[in-house]
């Protein structure tokens, strides 16, 4: 056989022929084994009631007194226990729930590269896989799918950073990401300069209890602005009141001197590639310059964008990230929702998709029953004969029936013949090593032949048996007959309907009289 069959032959020679992405894509939970727990017999004895106890003090003498070697009550509580009790005594902090952004729709689709690799693997091993298993495999790793964000045209657009695939809901979020982006150095150069430190009497230094960022003394003029800036940059999801409660103070000369040393240096920014020498001393000046000059270079305003699922969560707006997580979780729990998309993408890869027993499968070829009077080679004929006797069997049983005693692994010639039958659709090899031979439905074929042979006779018989169509009686005739059969009491119960019926009967008689007159006049003119 030719060399392209050798990799497939090598894969078909093993019992576990499936690729790594289909064998254990989603590990199934193992069943817990029940263990027999031995219970001491005294534990099963019912404790005596208070009424049944006898002896001094109401204590049953049959039970020995309980020993208490724990020491004095005041020494029993350990420091760890005290800390735990104090922790449980505190009221739990309320959790912040991020609401999804309104007007945004997110759908999940597989990546084209992942579909291409799956189609290539299916053709390589000549196996048939369920589209449900393929969809579940695609959703098992974030590198294999992406999210499609869509916004109504009447709403503001989203801002996509093409350098790092970041996605933001507003311009403010995009500018906030600018300070933590890796490409910031490509736009602005930072220069550290020395300045005079702040003058004043400082004894206390405040810092963030969450990140450790030093704000400075409370009596410093930039204290409040620094807190607002850190809250906006790092903890914007937390209310400011709660964040302000996390501020801690440190009263030491060392901490004050360390803060003063850091305040003697300052950053200055210069735009990269600017013909004019521009110096930006404040962060707000840098943000304004970025919005006016460099923002269109880094971000694109769009109403529809595709974002890879492997994008770090810090690069996606929180309101959009909630939508993305919900869509990915739903598709992961219900892989069938992406089957239509998977089916379309597999067809673009020229991978056949067919239905069998109500389920969709993808394989190297659609099922093609072997036509009658088809001639095969000796080895291929033996495979077909064995499968005709057992249309559904395991691959190991097939080799056991075909190979001589003592041989376990088939040769490359046997594997090449089997690979050709699988690639033509004459045999179907599923992921669990089940081998099925598609059979022609004999009952349908017989019925079809019988219908074709009896078609002329049936047509003639139907022509002979065809009877003239019976004409329905006019509605007025039926009404007239029913009215004539009604009693006066029944007519009175109709509550006026007899007038309408009588009026329609009079109109019918008048039309009949006019039609008869026209017929008589036309006959007289013909006679003249």
DSSP state, 34?
Answer: P
Got the DSSP string for 279-321? -B-SHHHHHHHIIIIIHHHHEEEESEEEEETTS-GGGB-HHHH
b (16+ CB within 10 A) / e for 395-408: beebbeebeeeeee
At 273-310, the pLDDT tens digits run 776 678 888 888 898 999 998 999 999 999 999 999 99
Classify 224 as helix, strand or coil: helix
Scanning 193-352, the segments in alpha helix (DSSP H) are 223-234, 240-245, 253-262, 283-289, 295-298, 318-333, 339-348
Strand boundaries in 422-515, DSSP class E: 428-429, 434-436
DSSP state, 63?
Answer: S
Two structure tokens written together for 180: 């933590």
Residue 201 neighbours by CB distance under 10 Å: 7
Rounded CA separation 334/383 (Å): 39
What residues contact 81, with CB distance under 8 A and at least 6 apart? none
Rounded CA separation 224/232 (Å): 12
Cβ(333)–Cβ(342) below 8 Å: no
Helix (H) or strand (E) holding 114: helix 112-125
Cβ(209)–Cβ(242) below 8 Å: no
Dihedral sign, CA of 187, 189, 195, 198?
positive
What residues contact 214, with CB distance under 8 A and at least 6 apart? 205, 206, 207, 208, 255, 258, 259, 262
DSSP state, 128?
Answer: B
Helix (H) or strand (E) holding 247: strand 247-250
* Per-residue model confidence as pLDDT tens for the chain (528 residues): 444 434 334 333 333 434 444 444 434 444 444 444 333 333 333 344 444 444 444 444 444 555 555 555 544 444 444 444 444 444 444 455 678 888 899 999 999 999 999 999 999 999 999 999 999 999 999 999 999 999 998 899 999 999 999 999 999 999 989 988 999 888 988 887 777 777 778 888 888 888 888 888 888 888 888 888 888 877 877 888 888 888 888 888 888 888 877 777 778 888 887 766 788 888 888 989 999 989 999 999 999 999 999 999 999 999 999 999 999 999 999 999 999 999 999 999 999 999 988 899 999 999 999 888 888 888 899 999 999 888 899 999 999 988 888 788 889 999 999 999 999 999 999 999 999 998 877 644 554 555 566 566 566 666 666 666 666 667 667 777 777 777 877 777 766 665 666 677 777 778 888 888 877 777 656 655
Rounded CA separation 250/247 (Å): 10
Two structure tokens written together for 239: 């209310």
At 142-195, the pLDDT tens digits run 999 999 999 998 899 999 999 999 999 999 999 989 988 999 888 988 887 777
């Amino acid at each position: 056989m030719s060399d392209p069959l050798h990799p497939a032959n090598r894969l078909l020679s093993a019992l576990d022929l499936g690729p790594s992405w289909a064998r254990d894509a989603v590990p199934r939970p193992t069943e817990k084994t029940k263990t027999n727990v031995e219970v001491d017999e005294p534990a099963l004895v019912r404790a005596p009631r208070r009424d049944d106890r006898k002896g001094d003090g109401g204590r049953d003498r049959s039970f020995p007194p309980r020993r208490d070697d724990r020491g004095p009550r005041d020494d029993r509580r350990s420091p760890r226990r005290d800390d735990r009790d104090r922790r449980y005594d505190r009221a739990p902090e309320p959790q912040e729930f991020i609401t999804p952004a309104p007007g945004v729709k997110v759908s999940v689709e597989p990546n084209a590269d992942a579909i291409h690799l799956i189609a290539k693997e299916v053709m390589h091993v000549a196996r048939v896989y369920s589209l449900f298993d393929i969809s579940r495999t695609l959703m098992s790793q974030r590198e294999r799918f992406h999210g499609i964000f869509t916004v109504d045209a009447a709403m503001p657009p989203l801002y996509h950073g093409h350098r790092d695939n970041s996605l933001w809901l507003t311009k403010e979020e995009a500018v906030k990401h600018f300070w933590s982006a890796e490409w910031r150095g490509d736009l602005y150069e930072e220069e550290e300069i020395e300045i005079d430190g702040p003058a004043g009497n400082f004894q206390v230094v405040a810092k963030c209890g969450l990140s450790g960022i030093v704000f400075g003394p409370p009596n410093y003029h930039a204290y409040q602005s620094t807190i607002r800036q850190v809250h906006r940059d790092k903890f914007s999801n937390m209310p400011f009141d709660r964040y302000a409660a996390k501020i801690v103070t440190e009263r030491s000369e060392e901490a004050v001197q360390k803060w003063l040393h850091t305040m003697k240096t300052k950053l200055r920014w210069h735009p990269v590639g600017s013909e004019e020498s521009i110096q930006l001393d404040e962060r707000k000046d840098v943000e304004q310059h970025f919005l006016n000059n460099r923002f269109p270079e880094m971000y694109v305003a769009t109403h529809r964008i595709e974002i890879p699922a492997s994008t770090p969560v810090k690069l996606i707006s929180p309101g959009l990230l909630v939508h993305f997580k919900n869509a990915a979780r739903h598709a992961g729990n219900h892989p069938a929702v992406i089957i239509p998309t998977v089916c379309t993408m597999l067809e673009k890869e020229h991978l056949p998709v067919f239905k069998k027993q109500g389920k969709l499968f993808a394989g190297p070829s659609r099922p093609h029953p072997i036509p009658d009077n088809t001639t095969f080679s000796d080895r291929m004929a033996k495979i077909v004969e064995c499968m005709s006797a057992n249309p559904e069997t395991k691959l190991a049983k097939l080799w056991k029936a075909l190979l001589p005693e003592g041989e376990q692994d088939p040769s490359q010639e046997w594997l090449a013949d089997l690979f050709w039958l699988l690639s033509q659709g004459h045999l179907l090899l599923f992921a669990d090593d089940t081998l099925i031979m598609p059979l022609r439905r004999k009952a349908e074929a017989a019925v079809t032949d019988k219908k074709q042979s009896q078609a002329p006779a049936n047509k003639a018989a139907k022509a002979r048996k065809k009877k003239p169509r019976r004409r329905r009686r006019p509605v007025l005739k039926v009404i007239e007959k029913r009215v004539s059969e009604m009693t006066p009491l029944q007519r009175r119960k109709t509550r006026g309907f007899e007038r309408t019926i009588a009026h329609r009967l009079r109109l019918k008689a008048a039309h009949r009289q006019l039609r008869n007159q026209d017929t008589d006049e036309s006959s007289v003119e013909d006679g003249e």
